[in-house]
A and B are shown apart, each in its own frame.
Chain A
Amino acid sequence: MAPPEAGRSPLSETHNLVVEFDPAPDAEWEEVEAALRRGLLHLAVHLADAALEVEPDAIEELTDPAAQSPDGLPRVAVVTNIQTQGRFKDVFVYGRSLSGGLATLLSPNELDDGAVVSGQYGHPALRNPTLLHQTHPVVAAVRECQDLHLAALVLCPEPVDQNAKELVSAHAARLCAAVGVDAAILTKEGGGNADADVTLKMDRLEEQGIAAVGVLPEMAGRDGTGPSLVVPPTKGVAMVSTGNYDERLTLPACERALGGDQVALLDRPATEELELPVAVVLCALSPLGWGRLTCHEEV
Chain B
Amino acid sequence: MLLCNLVSIAKRVGAPRIVPTRGIPYPTGDPDLGPDQEHAWRRELLERALHALSTPVTEPTVFEGEREG
Chain A directly contacts chain B within the complex, with at least one CB pair under 8 Å:
yes
Name B8's contact: one of A85, A86, A160, A231 (CB within 8 Å): A231
The dominant DSSP class at the A interface is loop
Evaluate contact between B24 and A196: CB separation under 8 angstroms: no
Name B25's contact: one of A85, A192, A196, A232 (CB within 8 Å): A85
Complex CA gap A196/B20 in Å reads 16
Least distance between A231 CB and chain B CB atoms (Å): 6
- In the complex, whether A193 has a CB less than 8 A from a CB of chain B is yes
Evaluate contact between B25 and A86: CB separation under 8 angstroms: yes
| Chain A hits for B24, CB < 8 A | 85, 160-161, 193
Within 8 A of B (CB), among A157-176: 160-162
Evaluate contact between A193 and B6: CB separation under 8 angstroms: yes
Within 8 A of A (CB), among B35-67: none
Evaluate contact between A162 and B25: CB separation under 8 angstroms: no
Within 8 A of B (CB), among A164-194: 192-193
Complex CA gap A162/B25 in Å reads 12
- In the complex, whether A230 has a CB less than 8 A from a CB of chain B is yes
Instruction: Write the B5-18 contact mask toward A (1 if CB under 8 angstroms, else 0).
Output: 11111001000000
Least distance between B28 CB and chain A CB atoms (Å): 14
Give the nearest-CB partner of A89 in chain B: B25
Evaluate contact between B23 and A160: CB separation under 8 angstroms: yes
Give the nearest-CB partner of A164 in chain B: B23
Least distance between B44 CB and chain A CB atoms (Å): 17
| Chain A hits for B7, CB < 8 A | 162
Give the nearest-CB partner of B4 in chain A: A162
Name B6's contact: one of A85, A86, A196, A232 (CB within 8 Å): A196
Q: A85-B24, A86-B25, A193-B24 are in contact. Are A162 and B5 (CB under 8 A)?
A: yes
Within 8 A of B (CB), among A211-236: 230-232
Name A160's contact: one of B9, B12, B20, B25 (CB within 8 Å): B25
| Chain A hits for B9, CB < 8 A | 192-193, 196, 230-231
Evaluate contact between A161 and B8: CB separation under 8 angstroms: no
Complex CA gap A232/B12 in Å reads 9
Complex CA gap A220/B60 in Å reads 23
| Chain B hits for A162, CB < 8 A | 5-8, 20
- 29 A-B contacts, Cβ less than 8 Å apart? A85-B24, A85-B25, A86-B25, A160-B5, A160-B23, A160-B24, A160-B25, A161-B5, A161-B22, A161-B23, A161-B24, A162-B5, A162-B6, A162-B7, A162-B8, A162-B20, A192-B9, A193-B6, A193-B9, A193-B24, A196-B6, A196-B8, A196-B9, A230-B9, A231-B6, A231-B8, A231-B9, A231-B12, A232-B12
Further pairs besides A162-B5, A162-B8: 20, Cβ < 8 Å:
A85-B25, A160-B5, A160-B23, A160-B24, A160-B25, A161-B22, A161-B23, A161-B24, A162-B6, A162-B7, A192-B9, A193-B6, A193-B9, A196-B6, A196-B9, A230-B9, A231-B6, A231-B9, A231-B12, A232-B12
Ordered nearest first, which 7 A-B pairs have the shortest CB separation? A160-B24, A161-B23, A160-B23, A161-B5, A162-B5, A162-B6, A231-B9
Which residues from chain A sit less than 8 Å from chain B, CB to CB?
Answer: 85-86, 160-162, 192-193, 196, 230-232
